[in-house]
């Protein structure tokens, strides 16, 4: 199979530099970044973490341009690699949510540690860090965060903040949660937002209407409000420590006896992050595809997916992976029908 593009239902993988594709891809709901780690792991991966911030910046800039407030970014790296890139992510508008630690367990280093030369404890982890792209509201040349903007709009209406509790039918939760500037701030649920918006537009000072509007023409609706933050589907029993061995057995893609890609991520972890941050038919980006585990997981979860991989050989292995997956899933469908 010799092509630079591979399509299969809702997913597409492309051979080339991700920088050449961002402008062509639709806005993502999920971005899975599993690129260079600063360990010289593959051609183009800087030999140390020091150069990672510089390497990632053009990509991060593009992600920021194409992301919406619904987008979640999952940034995989070594702990120090992530620490190095974090300021660049913040500079381009990404807000840190949580650092997840992938613990591959002792088996990952079994037989590989030379106690005489190592001079540090062996590493069996990677970080997968969740970021969101919060909206910014342009007010008189200033950029306000959602919590600042909510206060700003209520203040403009000329009514006291204490009124918000009455409007939301709560004792003090509105002032304590939705209109505080502290870290205890809480995104008002859609129904509370709708009550506040309606009340302000009915009873606020006439001259300032509309309140809670982005376009100065009409207020934000309940549905639009719900779309102003990243998706998150909570599942009980999952924490920020993920105990999962490195990929092995049938899942590991091999060329003869040799693993094709040392960084192949477990589908189980890709499923976890995609389920948590998207719904069916949403779009998942995987700019540094490798064997495109993120896009394969997206396909299995009925999402759309796009990936790019710069290395031709790896790209071809990724295409074969999808072909084989399609064949085996068709076969298993046929046998379950018979
Ligand atoms: C850590 S691996 C990804 C592994 C993948 N998550 C998986 O499970 O198979 C990173 C991949 O990004 C590719 N890569 C590096 N720079 C790239 C770029 N600018 N555009 C597209 N792919 C790139 C590398 O060739 C490498 O295969």
Express each pLDDT in 23-53 by its tens digit.
999 999 999 999 999 998 888 899 999 999 9
For residue 56, pLDDT beyond 50: yes
**Residue 263 CB–ligand 1 contact under 6 Å:** yes
- Phi then psi for residue 189, to 5 deg, are -60, 160
- Cβ of 265 less than 6 Å from ligand 1: yes
Answer whether 18 contacts ligand 1 (Cβ < 6 A). yes
* Cα gap 202→96, rounded to integer Å: 37
Residues in the chain: 338
Q: Provide mean pLDDT across the span 209-223.
A: 95
Among 305, 337, 334, CA closest to 322: 305
The residue from 162, 189, 223 where one domain ends is 223
Do 11 and 72 lie in a common domain? yes
In this structure, the number of other CB atoms found within 10 A of the CB of residue 307 comes to 29
Whether residues 88 and 189 share a domain: the answer is no
Instruction: Give the domain extent around 148.
Output: 137-223
Task: Say what the pLDDT of residue 1 is.
Answer: 45
Residues 116 and 15 grouped into a single domain: yes
Task: Name the residue among 40, 36, 17 with its Cα closest to residue 85.
Answer: 36
Structure confidence at residue 330 as a pLDDT band (50, 70, 90): confident
E strands in 66-106: 72-77, 95-103
List C-alpha distances in Å: 258 to 210, 218, 262, 267. Answer: 64, 60, 10, 19
CA 290–ligand 1 middle distance (angstroms): 4
Q: How many domains does the chain have?
A: 2
Is residue 293 lining ligand 1, measured as CB closer than 6 Å?
A: yes
Based on the domain organization, do 128 and 161 belong to the same domain?
no
| Structure letter (DSSP) for residue 292 | T
Q: Can you tell me the distance from the alpha carbon of 335 to that of 313, in angstroms, rounded to the nearest whole number?
A: 33
Please say whether the beta carbons of 98 and 240 come within 8 A: yes
Q: Give the residue from 170, 200, 223 where a domain finishes.
A: 223
* Residue to mutate, 42, 52, 288, 318, ligand 1, most ligand atoms under 8 Å from C-beta: 288
- 335 pLDDT more than 90: no
Look-up: residue for tokens 């505080």?
180
- State pLDDT tens for residues 180-204: 999 999 999 999 999 999 999 999 9
Is 42's C-beta closer than 6 angstroms to any atom of ligand 1?
Answer: yes
Q: Are residues 35 and 108 in the same domain?
A: yes
Is 242's pLDDT higher than 80?
A: yes
| Band (336; pLDDT cuts 50, 70, 90) | low
Q: Which residue has a Cα nearest atom 18 of ligand 1? A: 17
**Percentage of the chain lying above the pLDDT 90 cut:** 91
Between 338 and 121, the higher pLDDT residue: 121
Contact 309 CB / ligand 1 (< 6 Å)? yes
Centroid of ligand 1 to alpha carbon of 69 (angstroms): 26
Last residue within a domain, chosen from 170, 188, 223:
223
323 plus 275 within the same structural domain? yes
For residue 338, pLDDT over 60 is answered with no
74 touches 33 (CB < 8 A): yes
Q: Do both 123 and 251 map to the same domain?
A: yes
- Same domain for 251 and 206, yes or no, is no
Mean pLDDT of 275-282: 98
- Nearest C-alpha to atom 27 of ligand 1 is from which residue? 290
Q: What is the pLDDT, as a whole number, of residue 291? A: 98
Whether residues 146 and 292 fall in one domain: no
Query: Which of 260, 310, 321 should be mutated for ligand 1, with most atoms under 8 A from CB?
Result: 310
Q: Do 103 and 248 reside in the same domain of the chain?
A: yes
On whether both 315 and 294 belong to a single domain, the answer is yes
One domain for residues 239 and 218: no
95-136 residue pLDDT tens: 999 999 999 999 999 888 999 999 999 999 999 999 999 999
Average pLDDT, the chain: 94
To the question of pTM greater than 0.85 for the whole model, the response is yes
Coil/strand/helix, residue 238: coil
CATH classification of the domain holding 260: 3.40.50.150
């Amino acid at each position: 199979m010799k092509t630079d593009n591979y399509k299969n239902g809702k997913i597409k993988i492309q051979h080339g530099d991700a920088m050449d594709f961002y402008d062509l891809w639709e806005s993502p709901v999920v971005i899975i970044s599993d690129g260079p780690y600063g360990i010289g792991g593959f051609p183009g991966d800087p030999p140390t973490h020091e150069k990672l911030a510089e390497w990632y910046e053009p990509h991060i800039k593009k992600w920021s341009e194409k992301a919406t407030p619904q987008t979640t970014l999952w940034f995989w790296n070594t702990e120090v690699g992530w620490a190095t890139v974090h300021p660049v992510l913040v500079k381009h508008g990404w807000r840190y949510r949580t650092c997840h630690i992938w613990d591959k367990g002792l088996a990952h280093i079994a037989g590989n540690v030379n106690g005489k030369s190592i001079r540090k404890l062996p590493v069996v982890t990677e970080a997968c860090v969740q970021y969101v792209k919060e909206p910014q509201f342009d007010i008189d040349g200033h950029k306000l965060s959602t919590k600042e903007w909510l206060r700003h709009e209520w203040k403009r209406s000329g009514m006291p903040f204490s009124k918000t509790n009455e409007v939301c039918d709560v004792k003090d939760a509105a002032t304590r949660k939705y209109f505080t500037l502290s870290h205890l701030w809480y995104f008002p649920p859609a129904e509370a937002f709708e009550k506040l918006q309606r009340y302000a537009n009915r009873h606020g000072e006439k001259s300032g209407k509309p309140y809670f509007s982005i376009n100065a023409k009409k207020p934000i609706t309940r549905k639009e409000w719900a779309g102003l933050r990243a998706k998150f589907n909570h599942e009980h029993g999952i924490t920020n420590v993920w105990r999962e061995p490195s990929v092995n057995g049938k899942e590991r893609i091999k060329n003869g006896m040799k693993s094709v890609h040392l960084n192949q991520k477990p589908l189980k972890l890709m499923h976890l992050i995609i389920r948590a941050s998207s719904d069916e038919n949403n779009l998942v980006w995987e700019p540094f595809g490798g064997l495109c585990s993120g896009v394969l997981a997206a396909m299995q979860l009925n999402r759309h997916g796009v990936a790019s991989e710069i290395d031709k050989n790896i790209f071809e292995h990724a295409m074969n992976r999808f072909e084989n997956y399609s064949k085996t899933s068709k076969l298993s469908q046929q046998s379950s029908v018979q």
